[in-house]
């Protein structure tokens, strides 16, 4: 039996309103987000039987974002359905301020491998996995209510003192600004605060790229 086409909720302009690789004139680019059910191909290894959130409660968000090249790119995130609206608020504000995101791909493209995704400086949300550096506990990403943004510019320090991703140690010095770095009071942290999400950059040890709805 063939499945019916997944419903799509359009927010802002239509999908093709902004060129995927950058605006060329005319109307100002917008977030142009769409929200739909998640096809199995977009979940891949990021979901398996026994994960705390079933695919039916997840949504695929497709939206524009500014890249490190100053152009508009199309990206995708997967999140739990009840957290879609706050995430759209956050990325709308980030887009308005032209906050750059290197890439935004679903975790299926990395085989659900968090280390590989961080090494690629990928921004992502849902991924059913254990906490990086703590194999005893499920990550909040498993519940679809957490997002990691530009991990290479915003590293995570685990309880043993290891820095993730490797090579990002230079960005532990938050007084040295870098493109894509998240800082207190910027568009991202302000919008996350408005949405009621907590920033891991305020923790000890810090997780500068991590935001979550429940603060873990």
pLDDT band at 25 (very low <50, low <70, confident <90, very high): low
For residue 193, give the H/E element and its range.
helix 187-195
- Predicted pLDDT at 17: 34
pLDDT surpasses 80 at 141:
yes
Contact 129, 114 (CB under 8 A): yes
Region 140-150: what's the mean pLDDT?
A: 98
Residues 53, 129, 88, 38: is their CA dihedral positive or negative?
negative
Q: How large a percentage of the chain has pLDDT more than 70?
A: 88
Cis ω on the peptide bond leading into residue 30 (within 30° of 0)?
A: no
Average pLDDT of every residue of the chain: 90
Examine the pLDDT at 19 and tell me if it is beyond 50: no
Q: How confident is the model at residue 58 (pLDDT cuts 50, 70, 90)?
A: very high
Phi, psi of 196, deg, nearest 5: 85, 15
- CA 138, 92, 56, 76 dihedral sign is negative
Predicted confidence (pLDDT) at residue 136 exceeds the cutoff of 90: no
- Sequential DSSP letters for 115-149: HHHHHTTEEB-----EETTEEEEE-GGGGT-EEE-
Determine the pLDDT at residue 3.
32
With cut-offs at 50, 70 and 90, classify the pLDDT of residue 132: confident
Question: For a pLDDT cut of 90, what percent of the chain falls above it?
Answer: 83
The answer to whether 101 and 70 are in contact (CB under 8 A) is no
What pLDDT sits at residue 137? 84
Better-scored residue on pLDDT, 78 or 26: 78
* Per-residue pLDDT band at 4 (split at 50, 70, 90): very low
Q: Is the peptide bond before 124 cis (omega within 30 degrees of 0)?
A: no
Confidence of residue 162 (pLDDT cuts 50, 70, 90): very high
Q: What residue segments make up the domains of the chain, in order of their start?
A: 8-212
Distance of alpha carbon 16 from its chain centroid, rounded?
A: 22
- Residue 5: exposure state from Cβ atoms within 10 A (0-12, 13-18, ≥19): exposed
């Amino acid at each position: 039996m063939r499945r019916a086409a997944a419903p799509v909720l359009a927010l802002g302009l239509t999908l093709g309103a902004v060129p995927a690789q950058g605006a060329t004139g005319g109307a100002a680019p917008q977030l142009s987000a769409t929200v739909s059910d998640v096809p199995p191909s977009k979940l891949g290894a990021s979901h398996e039987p026994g994960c705390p959130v079933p695919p039916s409660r997840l949504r695929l968000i497709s939206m524009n974002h500014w890249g490190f090249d100053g152009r508009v790119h199309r990206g995708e995130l997967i999140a739990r359905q009840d957290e879609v609206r706050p995430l759209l608020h956050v990325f709308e504000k980030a887009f308005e301020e032209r906050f750059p995101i290197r890439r935004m791909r679903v975790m299926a493209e990395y085989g659900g491998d968090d280390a590989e995704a961080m090494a690629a400086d990928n921004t992502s949300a849902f991924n059913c996995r254990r906490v990086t550096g703590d194999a005893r506990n499920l990550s909040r990403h498993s519940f679809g209510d957490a997002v990691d943004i530009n991990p290479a510019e915003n590293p995570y320090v685990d309880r043993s003192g290891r820095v993730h991703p490797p090579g990002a140690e230079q960005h532990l010095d938050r007084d040295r600004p870098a493109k894509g770095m998240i800082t207190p009071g910027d568009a991202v942290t302000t919008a996350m605060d408005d949405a009621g999400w907590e920033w891991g950059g305020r923790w000890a040890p810090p997780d500068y790229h991590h935001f979550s709805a429940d603060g873990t």
